[in-house]
Amino acid sequence: MTNTSMKVLTGAEVVAAYHSLFEVEASFRMAKSDLRARPIFHHTRDAIEAHLTIVFCALAVARHLQMATGLSLRRIIKTLQPLREGLVEINGTLATIPAALTPEAKEILRSLPEKSGH
């Protein structure tokens, strides 16, 4: 039910608008839970805009990962978060110790599109 005239939006457009609103609300719920976003109080416009930019970038990356893998963000984070890569120096030589990928982590990484052209 809406107070918008049929001259402004068709029924299908109203449904699409509410569907989009649902997606936005779901993203903010995800930001608060899966991304562990907490209220942060900024005092300058630059700080507020920077914070919002980071949050929206995180949401975009999260949505991309979900669509590319078919997994929930919670599952992706749980699988990939423990992975660590190390850098050690032995007798003046730097050596990288790669993360030990689990089969599930390998599958997530395989499902992501590869960079093209660069």
* Every domain of the chain and the residues it spans: 34-111
Confidence of residue 112 (pLDDT cuts 50, 70, 90): confident
Q: Whats the size of the chain, residue-wise?
A: 118
Q: Determine the average pLDDT of the residues in 46-61.
A: 84
Q: What is the pLDDT of residue 27?
A: 66
Rg of the chain taking only CA atoms, in angstroms:
21
Confidence of residue 53 (pLDDT cuts 50, 70, 90): confident
Q: Determine the average pLDDT of the residues in 37-47.
A: 77
User: Which SS3 state, helix, strand or coil, does residue 90 take?
Assistant: strand
Q: Determine the average pLDDT of the residues in 95-111.
A: 92
Q: Which residue has the higher pLDDT, 83 or 10?
A: 83
Mean pLDDT of the chain: 81
Q: What is the pLDDT of residue 16?
A: 76
Do residues 102 and 77 make contact, with C-beta atoms less than 8 angstroms apart? no
- Is residue 42's pLDDT more than 80? no
Q: What is the pLDDT of residue 38?
A: 62
